[in-house]
Amino acid sequence: MPRFSNKRRVAHTADQMFDLVADVERYPEFVPLCHSLVVRQRSQKPDGIEVIVADMTVSFKLVKETFTSRVTLDRAGRKILVEYVSGPFSNLENRWSFEPTEQGACEVTFFISYEFKSRMLAMLMGSMFDTVFARMSAAFEKRADAIYGRKPAVSST
């Protein structure tokens, strides 16, 4: 099963980055390949964890696919878990974590594993997904700079 992960130190707080990633309705404005995103359901658990069920449509050239995922927002733990519900994948899991560091910066860890149901779609999309995921991570950092203001550069790992 294909996987991608990266860890970036960014010049924004862990809470700012959590809020940015948690704001799924805004993804079509800046996330590569995200054509549209519709929240179907939003609920709050007694422990403060929020759960969102959303449909995301991704588009690349002539390919347009919609999938449904469950997004668990754990603000206290600064973690976001995205689990596959339905669509063109046989499996999809995405995790984010946000660790505070010095001087108002944080370390953002992004992990995704996925597998397409269709062998043809896997061949078509699979070869470019690592590039897309790297661009996606950078897009969140660029969006944070636009919203929260650009700060001095912080090294990536």
The confidence score (pLDDT) of residue 154 equals 52
Residue 123 in tokens: 């061949």
The confidence score (pLDDT) of residue 130 equals 65
Q: Which helix (H) or strand (E) holds 109?
A: strand 106-116
- For domain 3-148, which architecture applies? 2-Layer Sandwich (3.30)
Query: Around Cβ 2, how many Cβ atoms within 10 Å?
Result: 15
pLDDT tens, N- to C-terminus, the chain (157 residues): 778 888 999 999 999 999 999 999 999 999 988 999 999 999 999 999 999 999 999 887 777 889 999 999 999 999 999 999 999 888 999 999 999 998 889 999 999 888 888 787 676 666 666 677 778 888 999 999 999 987 655 544 4
Q: What is the DSSP string of 40-54?
A: EEEEE-TTS-EEEEE
